[in-house]
């Protein structure tokens, strides 16, 4: 079963005009009527991987259509990052049953990252905390599965937003969650230099929104 892509407005007062589109999907959803051609490596993948890839691309295509008037399916780079049309930045994420994509004009925004996660349970949070949190984060966040999920998701969004600018791998320990509030604002601080433009100590804002047991985060790198 698959829902139609739906335009969402998870956050108010955003500094950039972007389109955010999500849909629900299940493992068996197919290509019928989508008009999207699967790259070879996705065509050969397991049904679940095909379904999530396709659901993400359907969201991306609809976000592009709503933004520019022209839908297009982003390509796939060898490193798996999506290849957006010229002049567009965007990002895709999926859990087992929900996919989401954001797209904005590159003139308004240099990087855009989105991530969706199921809020972890205690055991999941403790496993993720030991891998993805810095020692200081472990001190302050590790007892709260929601905050562990938030730190993890915000770092994934940050990585996706910076990837087109840096084109390099990034450790989960390169940044830490230093603040969050009830209005869905969070801040990450870099604990190591990523580039001369992103030195240690730089702070980057993230937004988050909880919908049931799902947590959504986004990071924008402004022009």
Ligand X SMILES: CC(C)(COP(=O)(O)OP(=O)(O)OC[C@H]1O[C@@H](n2cnc3c(N)ncnc32)[C@H](O)[C@@H]1OP(=O)(O)O)[C@@H](O)C(=O)NCCC(=O)NCCS
Catalog residues that contact ligand X under the rule CB under 6 A. Answer: 52-53, 56, 79-82, 91-94, 115, 155-156, 158-160, 163, 170, 172, 174-175
What is the rounded CA–CA span in Å between residue 99 and residue 96? 8
Least distance to ligand X, CB of residue 56, Å: 4
Least distance to ligand X, CB of residue 75, Å: 10
What is the rounded CA–CA span in Å between residue 26 and residue 222? 34
Closer of 77 and 223 to ligand X (Cβ):
77
Least distance to ligand X, CB of residue 149, Å: 12
Closer of 183 and 199 to ligand X (Cβ):
199
Least distance to ligand X, CB of residue 158, Å: 5
Closer of 16 and 38 to ligand X (Cβ):
38
């Amino acid at each position: 079963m698959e829902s139609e892509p739906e335009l969402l407005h998870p956050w108010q007062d955003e500094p950039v005009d972007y389109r955010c589109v999500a849909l629900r999907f299940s493992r068996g959803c197919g290509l019928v009527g989508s008009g999207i051609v699967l790259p070879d490596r996705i065509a050969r993948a397991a049904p679940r991987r095909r379904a999530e890839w396709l659901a993400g691309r359907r969201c991306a295509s609809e976000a592009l259509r709503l933004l520019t008037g022209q839908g297009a399916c982003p390509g796939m780079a060898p490193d798996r990052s999506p290849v957006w049309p010229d002049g567009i930045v965007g990002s895709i994420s999926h859990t087992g049953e929900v996919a989401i994509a954001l797209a904005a004009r590159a003139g308004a925004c240099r990087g855009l990252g989105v991530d969706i996660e199921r809020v972890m349970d205690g055991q999941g949070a403790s496993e993720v905390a030991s891998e993805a949190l810095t020692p200081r984060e472990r001190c302050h966040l590790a007892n709260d599965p929601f905050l562990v999920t938030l730190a993890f998701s915000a770092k994934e969004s940050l990585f996706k937003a910076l990837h087109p600018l840096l084109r390099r791998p990034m450790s989960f320990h390169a940044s830490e969650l230093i603040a969050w509030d009830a209005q869905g604002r969070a801040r990450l601080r870099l604990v190591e230099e990523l580039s001369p433009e992103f030195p240690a100590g730089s702070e980057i804002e993230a937004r988050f929104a909880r919908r049931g047991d799902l947590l959504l985060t986004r990071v924008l790198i402004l022009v």
